[in-house]
Structure 1
Amino acid sequence: MPIFQSIPELYKSRVLELNASDDRGINVVRTKIKDFAAVAVGSGHRQGGYPCPPYKIIILDEADSMTEDAQNALRRTMETYSKVTRFFFICNYISRIIEPLASRCAKFRFKPLSEEIMSSRILHICKEEELNLDSEALSTLSSISQGDLRRAITYLQGAARLFGSIISSKDLISVSGVVPQHVVQALFAACKSGDFDSANKEVNNVIAEGYPVSQMLYQLFDVVVEADISDEQKARICKRLAEADKCLVDGADEYLQLLDVASNAMRALCNMPEEFPHES
């Protein structure tokens, strides 16, 4: 890539970058991508005599948003023009890339950034933008962004627009959509008490406050993993959390799913059977 970037005319003729979440239909594959991939290139030389690779590069960002038909069409394009074109797929969920396409690629997985790296870059941005971020707010930002620097910058930008140059931990939580920890702990404590009415009240509070239930499940998972309970209890609760998360992705009702998680967690924490016996 540095080779192409050093010579602008080569970059324009040899690199095609598309955001697949926007350009994701089969027509884009059949026209724009196929036409670009089909053109042969020579082995040019950059300044200094360094050889330029005899192929082009197509970069598809958010490739997991492409339709299945488009991915199947792209597979044929890759096979046909593999000698003159290289493909880069950038995605969040490799499971959404069809197997024939994924099997033709070398996979590189990138871990979330460490808190040290995140903090260093955020402090640099705060210095350049003249923002005041104390140590607690910095730690909160690293935590809620989960190692995603782009997400951290988005939260920081939103907080700066709403609250000015002095940003607190509370400000960052309010713009991020993260559920306050005391709300998560209150629901877990209600489940642990064995009182269904109390758990139902906490579930209603979460829904009434407008907190995203998917985020609630994510944070509840962390609480369960760190809780002083048996491995069997953790397994039962985490299994139901995963099932509820899948149901939410499929469009299920948030209140019913969270209430079901709470009731299942209560049964696990109080050592009740997973299913109540039915009377014949």
Structure 2
Amino acid sequence: MTTGSQGNQLPWVEKYRPKTLADVVGNAATVDRLRVIEENGNCPHLLLSGLPGIGKTTSVHCLAHALLGDAYKEAVLELNASDDRGIDVVRNKIKAFAQKKVSLPPGRHKIIILDEADSMTPGAQQALRRTMELYAKTTRFAFACNQSNKIIEPLQSRCAILRFGRLRDEEVLQRLVEISKQEGVQYSDEGLAAVVFTADGDLRQAVNNLQSTWTGLGFVSPDNVFVVCDQPHPIIVRTMLEACAKGDIDTALEKLDEVWNTGYSSVDIVTTLFRVTRTLDSLAEPVKLDFIKEIGWTHMRVLEGVGTLLQLSGLLSRLARTAIDPKLVTYT
């Protein structure tokens, strides 16, 4: 448990947030491109896209700190999705910051960071086009977003596009071990593996889950992790899938009832089915691909609102039939 100074009271995602690009976990090729910009000092407009919790915004802040040094506070403006970022904000707040005179190191520029940029209205994005051109000599823009296709083409063409991928399990695990040693966390290897499983490549989620489990239950074990994170236990889901692989639909349906009666939603169950299938070594590769395809179809139906026990039971029956004879399965 963490007690004492204010620094120890910080959430671990903030306490252990990387301060330099060298500390950023994963996406080595993309981070190396940022390090080249850091060394040259000439920062273009940037568009960073990728899933949540994999280091996009943190990388931009690390780059800004390296480029601007002590001028960071005066020369960086960050707007998040929680801020109003309509046309008025672009015309007033962003434009006013771009016009502001700030003492900077030679050859450096002010930086405007727009986090969750894909939630900006198309009108606000259109208004940015001219602003980016007018103040290009003094100001650079960095857009961080989950889906780059929601950024209009004129903005994309003005930016160097950097794509961040999901972090590998080994990278997440290594960082969790480092934090656990710093905080004196008691854990089992299986417990940390469970944290990595629940995060699914999202390092921020992994660190939050680690802190929640340790703070709440005092030991990081698989059972404690899945209680705190409130996800279906993958061992039960694995048993369900292995029964389907053998064509034993009765056992699979029993396990499904067990999970369903615990109160998990259809989305939780289908998502865990996908994650476990992806790592299930006992399945032959062609069968695994068929399983993933079938789970994907069901996931789509669940997201459209058909999240009943009957829908999930139908999924298991199709998985069992796929394992017996793939030719019997038709996709509609």
Residues 51-66 of structure 1 mapped to structure 2, 5 A cutoff: 51-53=106-108, 55-66=109-120
Q: Distance in 2 between matches of 1:72 and 1:252?
A: 38
Unpaired segments of 5 or more residues in structure 1?
none
- Give the aligned length: 265
Q: Gaps spanning 5+ residues in structure 2: where?
A: 1-63
Q: Does 1:36 align with 2:97?
A: yes
Per-residue CA shift, 1:173-203, capped at 9, x if unaligned? 2222332122212332443454666554443
Corresponding residue of 1:14: 75
2:161 maps to a residue whose letter is K
Tell me the SS of whatever aligns to 1:183: helix
Given candidates 268, 273, 278, the residue that maps to 2:328 is 273
Q: What is the alpha-carbon distance in structure 2 between the residues aligned to residue 56 and residue 183 of structure 1?
A: 53
Q: Would you say 1:167 and 2:228 are equivalent positions?
A: no
CA separation of 1:118 and 1:12: change in aligned 2, threshold 3 A: same
Deviations 1:15-56 (A, max 9, x none): 10122254454443343223323x1647x454xxxx142x32
Pair 1:70–1:141, CA change in 2 (3 A): same
Q: Is 1:88 aligned to 2:110, yes or no?
A: no
In our comparison, the structure showing a higher alpha carbon Rg is 1
What is the CA RMSD across the aligned residues, in angstroms?
3.3
Determine helix, strand or coil for the equivalent of 1:133: coil
CA–CA distance in structure 1, aligned partners of residues 88 and 314 of structure 2: 43
What amino acid maps onto 2:128 in structure 1?
A: L
| Cα deviation digits, residues 111-169 of structure 1 (max 9, x gap) | 444555444433343344332123332333233323432112101121123213x3323
After superposition, what is the alpha-carbon deviation per residue over 1:224-263, rounded to whole angstroms, capped at 9, x for unaligned? 44343462x4444322322333344444425455344324
Distance 1:140 1:159 in 2: 11
Question: How far did residue 69 of structure 1 move?
Answer: 4.0
The aligned counterpart of 1:241 is 295
Distance 1:112 1:154 in 2: 17
Cα separation, 1, equivalents of 2:72 and 2:330: 62
Paired residue secondary structure (2:163): coil
Question: Aligned equivalents of 1:87 and 1:201: distance in 2?
Answer: 54
* Higher relative contact order, chain-length normalized (CA < 8 Å, sep 6+): 2
1:104 corresponds to which of 158, 161, 172: 158
Closer/same/farther in 2, CA of residues 2 and 181 from structure 1, 3 Å limit? closer
Q: Which of 214, 228, 233 pairs up with 1:180?
A: 233
In structure 2, the partner of 1:208 is 261
- The separation in 1 between residues aligned to 2:173 and 2:134, in whole angstroms, is 46
Q: Report the secondary structure of 2:160's partner residue.
A: coil
Structure 2 residue aligned with 1:228? 283
The 2-side partners of 1:257 and 1:101 are apart by 42
Does structure 1 residue 2 correspond to structure 2 residue 56? no
